[in-house]
Structure 1
């Protein structure tokens, strides 16, 4: 068993009208390795000026964590299969809408990895599909969510 931590910090501004809902949702995430990330509610959820679009919102972080987890497993499985990856870029996208219970949720995440293979040896379509399948099955984050996750390659 492993335990992971994040420290979330928010402070009400002196001029915020908290009881009226007019307060900043900007905050920060601090991680054990020292990284501090500016965060906020999504401007799609909480209108500006009470959200800060420069901060990472929980929905973006959710999508990024799925993408990152998939990538890390794919890199390892590719290495084990004898392939060399020079570059990996994913323009992941999540859709937030009502789920089957009528609650707002991120219901679908689509990963669109673009992979540059080294050593002039790229996997064929079947081998690439198998690498993605194995990465998805092994991804801790994908195993933790109910959203449909699709990999387009």
Structure 2
């Protein structure tokens, strides 16, 4: 078991374009004093220049999948030279009359190097293994799909 911490800091300020409400901007501090400026999504009066929690969730799913994929590829003797993804999460109404991220679509593009290059079936199996093992995917109810080439 492990514990994962961050620091969230928000201070009241006026909303820059709506004087009747507050700014949603805040700062998240992660390990190594990395700081991320975060706000609500634009649809909820957030700052378009900041990350929003939904983007961070989608990024966490993609990052977790990638890390498991890389581990599986290395274990099987494949060398990955690059891995890119443009994940998309969909915030939609649920059947409880609320909103939730209902699905996340991953679209990884992977370049292999070295002498041993996997075929499409091997790549699919590595994605299946990463999907099965990703901690973040297990932690959410959203459907996660992998569209790979």
- TM-score, L = length of structure 2: 0.92
The aligned residue for residue 108 of structure 1 is: 103
Question: What is the aligned-residue RMSD (CA, Å)?
Answer: 1.6
How far 1:58 moved relative to its partner?
0.2
Q: Distance in 2 between matches of 1:119 and 1:44?
A: 46
Paired positions, count: 146
Unaligned runs of 5+ in 1: none
Q: 2:70 aligns with which of 75, 78, 87?
A: 75
Q: Distance in 2 between matches of 1:44 and 1:122?
A: 44
The aligned residue for residue 29 of structure 1 is: 28
How far 1:113 moved relative to its partner?
0.1
How far 1:10 moved relative to its partner?
0.6
The aligned residue for residue 79 of structure 2 is: 84
Q: 1:124 aligns with which of 119, 131, 140?
A: 119
- Where 1:141 maps in the other structure, the secondary structure is helix
The aligned residue for residue 52 of structure 1 is: 47
Does the Cα contact within 8 Å between 2:66 and 2:130 map onto a contact in 1? Answer: yes
2:88 matched to 1:93?
yes
Deviations 1:122-143 (A, max 9, x none): 3111111110011011111001
- Where 1:44 maps in the other structure, the secondary structure is helix
Unaligned runs of 5+ in 2: none
- Where 2:89 maps in the other structure, the secondary structure is strand
Greater mean deviation of Cα atoms: 21-30 or 67-76: 21-30
Moved over 4 A (4+): none
How far 1:120 moved relative to its partner?
5.0
The aligned residue for residue 139 of structure 2 is: 144
Q: Distance in 2 between matches of 1:100 and 1:84?
A: 44
